[in-house]
Amino acid sequence: MIRMNTRNKIILISSLAIVFFAGGIFFNKLYQTPLKSQKIYKEAFSDYKNGDYSNAYYLFSRISVFSDLKPAALYRQAEAARVIGDNDSAVKKYQLLFNKYPKNPLSLRAKYLAGQILTDTNPRLARKYFEQIMQEAPDTDYAIASEYYCGLILMNEYTQNKDAIFPLSKKHDVEEYFRHYLKRAPEGRLAVNVIDNWLNIDKTISPDDYLLMANSLYKLGEFPRVKELLAYTNTAESWILYAKNLNVMGHSKEALEYLEKGFSENISYVSEEDLIEAINLYFQLNQSSKLQLARDLGVKISGKGHDYVASLRCKYSSGYEKTQCYKELYLAYPNGKYAPKALSEIFLDFVVSNDSANAKKIGQDYLNKFRDKEDAPMVMFWMGKIAERERDYSEYMNIYKNVITNYPDSYYAYRSYLRLNHQESPIITDYITPKPVEYPYVFKNRTVKKLADLEDYEIINEISGNDQFIKSWVLYKQGDFSHSMLIARNAMDALNKKPDKYDLRWRLVYPVHYYEDIKKYADLTGNSPPLMLSIAREESYFNPEANSYVGAKGLMQLMPTTAAEIASKKNLGYYELLNASSNIKLGNYYYAYIKSLLSGLDVSAIASYNGGIGSVTRWKKSLNYSDTDSFVEQIPYEETQNYVKKVFKSYWNYIRIYNGNG
């Protein structure tokens, strides 16, 4: 047995004390419980939002290096330092972030922002960072912006020294950086800087590059400058942009003349995409018969764009001529961009004329070729109705179920649900159970969950990459409901396979706003609350201050004269159209009024809400329809027909998402 003398015992005890003391410091300074880290971050972020950046900087520094919030804290420290003008500290924190946490999503932005700050003080290091970004993340917005800064740094190297000679090869390199930026981001935040710098360093710019600059300035709304630059372009290539710019500057007559000349002389020099845009502008500006315009353009335009003009001729034709036109279009371009539309119109004509045999052949042909196209739900639904007419029970039941399965959020899924349940009324239920918008995914990332609880939405948006649903959620949390809904809607439309109806992303596409007032006044007037909610969604995207180009105002887009008339009829007293509650009240009374004049029919009332009661009354007398579905498909005003489908599509999705129908 080894025995320690007193001296050795003292040394051992002292050593252990030092170890424990150092460990205590380590534990207290470096390790924190997750709850403590979140508490510090919350206090720091509160100071940051309130403008106390110095204290926020200090508090963020107290987040332990072992906390998963440390990268976000470093980023916030850098931002706080930058706001108060301490660029050196900001760069150090950015550098610490992307060097210590290179795989963290904030790392890329940190490197970009460090490069921005260093552009003037240490351009060589800044350029190194920008080149790394372009190499490591070439498809990001940061890489596009880095192109500009690389060009700027190279340009400054020769232009900031009066004695320096700017070699032609280097000037070409700068131009190439600038050219790449404008091609990839014509509406980018730095586009005007790119153009100004480019014009300053070179007086021998090519016509193509002038056109590139002019196109960017047009997208940015710099219309007088567009006119200046177009003077240096090749007219054969720039005539469309010239016409567009003339139009927005109030010279529609001259714009029309430019378009007419361009269609006759310069079609081969422009892209098909630009040509279609020019054709649409031509139709917008010309007051002549749309059908005649399409016929005249069909003579002038051959090859590129001809199928689009042919589709317009079909669109503006009527009766037998319309059907024949679509048949000719499909035969001429069976694999073209407009073939699916042509075939669906041919199919629908056979349906309306009760030619079931030919309708079934064309419908099956369409579904074999174009099952993923826009009109596929319509074709499939009507194939079900044909089977129902022929009393093929198993066939039509199967088709309707397939419509709901394959196109669950569509207007035709809604109509299929009604057919499956043998329901004639378009109102499935008057009630929904509203639920709040939530983060659109189950939290798998603990850091994101923490940041959500801390309400640091900016960083969540940054680390989410290009996930549009998260961007939508962030906008929603920031109170931008309209923009949030539009982004979510577009993101959902882009999905090939739609998620389950209980998926939280649906709530972003169909949020419930102002429902307390909507239900109150819908119940008071005998309307369906979910249907009124759907009208508000489609009319204004829940923007209570919405103003249309024709003068309609507020959530339910009421014309001032209409609002005054209904307020007088119903003795509603004082109102404000841009007040949400007041607008909802007037909208409900107006809807109930027009519905009462149309035998209490909701489909007719929805059509009247958009197209006017006089038009609907006229259509009901003149159209040869057999039921509601047939009537909707034959509404002559495309805008009104689409409006009816959109409102009932929203209605269907509200009851589907919040009640579980379908």
547 SS3 class: strand
CA distance 516 to 68: 40
d(C-alpha 67, C-alpha 42), whole Å = 14
Catalytic site residue from 438, 539, 638, 639 = 539
Distance CA 429, CA 528 (A): 8
Please name which of 71, 48, 49 lies closest in space to residue 59, comparing C-alpha atoms.
48
Longest dimension (CA), the chain: 115
Tokens of 543: 């923007």
Report the C-alpha gap between 644 and 661 in whole angstroms.
20
Question: What region, left, alpha or beta, does residue 250 occupy, with left being phi > 0 and alpha being psi -120 to 50 degrees?
Answer: left
Give the position of tokens 């489908």: 645
Decide: 245 and 218 in contact? Cβ < 8 Å.
yes
Burial class (CB in 10 A: 0-12, 13-18, 19+), 411: buried
On whether the CB atoms of residues 148 and 174 are closer than 8 A, the answer is: no
Q: Which residues pair with 281 in a beta bridge?
A: none
For residues 522 and 302, give the distance between their C-alpha atoms in angstroms, rounded to a whole number: 54
Task: For 422-464, give the DSSP string.
Answer: T--SS-S-S---------SS----HHHHHHHHTT-HHHHHHHT
Of 435, 451, 64, the residue nearest 470 (C-alpha): 451
Q: Is residue 254 among the annotated active site residues?
A: no
The CB-side HSE value for 320 (13 A sphere, CA atoms) comes to 0
Q: Residue 576 to residues 301, 495, 544, 573: CA-CA distances in angstroms?
A: 51, 40, 11, 10
Between CA 436 and CA 601 the distance in angstroms is 32
The partner residues of 558 in beta bridges, in order of sequence, read 553
Which residue, chain included where needed, has tokens 């998963």? Answer: 68
Residues 6+ apart with CB under 8 A from 145: 112, 181, 185, 188, 189, 190
Residues in a beta bridge with 553: 547, 558
Catalytic residues: 539
